[in-house]
């Protein structure tokens, strides 16, 4: 059971009600209406189970970023413009699969079936996440042993969970064992997991990430590692340690490194130091503002966006009615906007504010932290879910693929939703057909 003590998760007593999430039809909920309605509670096992792919892995922004961007936390501004910067258009977008992490009694063989089906469909990569349950490297090694062509990537490996040297060892080992198919995605996690699970202070995440990436880079280059930073010192200055060199040689000349980023400063850091950006709640309509931050980081090292990977994880729900499809995503959206962090520090809520959903983001958070989970789910605007997901039939998803590619996405990592593995397999097949129909696939 997950419990809530401050910022963590709360699972109410199991209810015998079998009302499906689809009973909450997508609608805009006014605050006055919600205040008059009796509080209803919904089990969080399903919300957390369906919200597992982002994995508490994006960070680097703060509530201060809201003020910096000129948006008040409770001031609604117009939703993101639909204008897409032509300069970021991608003509050969690939598909990926994000499996998230295992929860509870999940059968890992279902994830294997999805990965193998994605490989058969020609997907470029399968990603696995971690929070405080299954770890991504173990899952990826298991998947890689039973596939042959598809890349495997961590989305993410948590920075506070491992020393940078341990991460370099894991990355090099996976690169060798997979025949050069490994992609290294990193993220600082959030204060609740960093301090509550790993026992690592969540202070100066940008500086910590910068040092971490530098040590990983030196180690993977097989240089003798000597580093004296604020957060990492190799070797320790007051002991018997000596500078060491990675003893295993990666197959790849360069293992691509991706950074999970939400806040503006972390987006710049991703552009400066990483080969790609792992995005969450990615809306093509809002992407120009985010990619401008990435572009600024690239400019610091004399690079453009050419060759830089933009990889959002995008919920996929196949069906005839997009609004009904959106109901499958409501639990995930409400958890992240409303409950993933504290009232003072929730990076996903701050992102929703920057995207133009200030008033509703505050409402969702108030409802969620007040344990009115069903109301919080209902309060998430359909437009927000629609912009950040792939909902509907083949033609509608093909149209959205065109928007994602035009905004700069290089690999669209799909998170299939469905009541069974078979439904998710069918959704992946439909998405592959939609990409072909869109004309923007590789």
Q: Where are the domains of the chain?
A: 24-438
**pLDDT at position 439:** 97
CA–CA separation, 342 and 217 (whole Å): 33
CA–CA separation, 63 and 232 (whole Å): 27
CA–CA separation, 208 and 216 (whole Å): 12
Query: Is 210 exposed, middle or buried, given 0-12, 13-18 or 19+ CB atoms closer than 10 A?
Result: middle
**pLDDT for residue 213 is more than 80:** yes
Query: Is 21 exposed, middle or buried, given 0-12, 13-18 or 19+ CB atoms closer than 10 A?
Result: middle
Helices 287-300 & 264-273, crossing angle to 10 degrees? 50
pLDDT tens column, 181-207: 999 999 999 888 999 999 999 999 999
Given this structure, which CATH class describes domain 24-438? alpha beta
**pLDDT for residue 102 is more than 50:** yes
Candidate from 62-76, 203-217, 420-434 with smallest mean pLDDT: 62-76
Q: Token pair for residue 353?
A: 């504010």
**pLDDT at position 388:** 98
**pLDDT for residue 250 is more than 60:** yes
How many Cβ atoms from other residues are within 10 Å of residue 293's Cβ?
20
pLDDT tens column, 135-144: 999 999 999 9
**pLDDT at position 51:** 56
**pLDDT for residue 285 is more than 70:** yes
CA distances from 410 to 96, 275, 297, 308, 385 (A): 10, 12, 18, 8, 21
377-398: average pLDDT: 98
pTM of the model: 0.84
CA–CA separation, 345 and 441 (whole Å): 38
270-275: average pLDDT: 98
Q: Nearest CA to 59 among 257, 345, 308?
A: 345
CA–CA separation, 150 and 272 (whole Å): 27
**pLDDT for residue 129 is more than 90:** yes
Is the CB of residue 4 less than 8 Å from the CB of residue 370? Answer: no
Candidate from 63-72, 198-207, 318-327 with smallest mean pLDDT: 63-72
């Amino acid at each position: 059971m997950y419990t809530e003590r401050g910022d963590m998760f709360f699972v109410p007593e199991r209810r015998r009600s079998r009302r499906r999430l689809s009973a909450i039809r997508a609608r805009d909920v006014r605050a006055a209406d919600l205040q008059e309605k009796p509080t209803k509670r919904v089990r969080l096992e399903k919300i957390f189970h369906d919200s597992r792919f982002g994995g508490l892995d994006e960070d680097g922004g703060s509530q201060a970023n809201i003020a910096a961007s000129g948006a008040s936390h409770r001031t609604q501004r117009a939703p993101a413009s639909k204008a897409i910067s032509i300069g970021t258009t991608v003509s050969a977008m690939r598909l990926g699969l994000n499996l998230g992490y295992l929860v509870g009694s999940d059968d890992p063989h279902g994830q294997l079936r999805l990965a193998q089906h994605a490989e058969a469909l020609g997907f470029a990569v399968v990603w696995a996440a971690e929070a405080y349950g299954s770890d991504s490297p173990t899952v990826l090694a298991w998947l890689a042993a039973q596939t042959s062509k598809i890349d495997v990537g961590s989305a993410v490996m948590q920075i506070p969970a491992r020393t940078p040297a341990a991460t370099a060892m894991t990355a090099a080992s996976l690169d060798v064992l997979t025949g050069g198919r490994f992609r290294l995605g990193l993220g600082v996690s959030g204060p609740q997991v960093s301090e509550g699970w790993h026992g690592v202070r969540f202070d100066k995440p940008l500086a910590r990430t910068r040092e971490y990436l530098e040590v990983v880079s030196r180690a993977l280059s097989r240089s003798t590692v000597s580093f004296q930073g604020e957060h990492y010192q190799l070797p320790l200055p007051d002991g018997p340690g000596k500078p060491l060199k990675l003893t295993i040689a990666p197959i790849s000349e360069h293992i691509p490194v991706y950074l999970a980023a939400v806040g503006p400063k972390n987006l710049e850091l991703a552009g400066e130091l990483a080969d790609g950006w792992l995005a969450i709640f990615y809306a093509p309509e809002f992407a120009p503002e985010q990619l401008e931050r990435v572009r600024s980081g690239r400019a610091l090292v004399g690079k453009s966006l050419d060759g830089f990977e933009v990889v959002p994880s995008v919920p996929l729900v196949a069906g005839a009615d997009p609004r009904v499809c959106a109901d499958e995503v409501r639990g995930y959206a409400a958890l992240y906007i409303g409950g993933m962090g504290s009232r003072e520090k929730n990076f996903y809520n701050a992102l929703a504010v920057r995207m133009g959903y200030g008033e509703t983001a505050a409402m969702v958070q108030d409802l969620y932290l007040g344990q009115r989970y069903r109301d919080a789910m209902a309060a998430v605007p359909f437009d927000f879910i629609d912009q950040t997901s792939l909902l509907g039939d083949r033609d509608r998803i093909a149209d959205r693929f065109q928007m994602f590619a035009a905004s700069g996405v290089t690999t669209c990592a799909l998170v299939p939703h469905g009541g069974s593995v078979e439904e998710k397999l069918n959704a992946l097949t439909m998405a592959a057909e939609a990409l072909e129909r869109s004309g923007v696939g590789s």
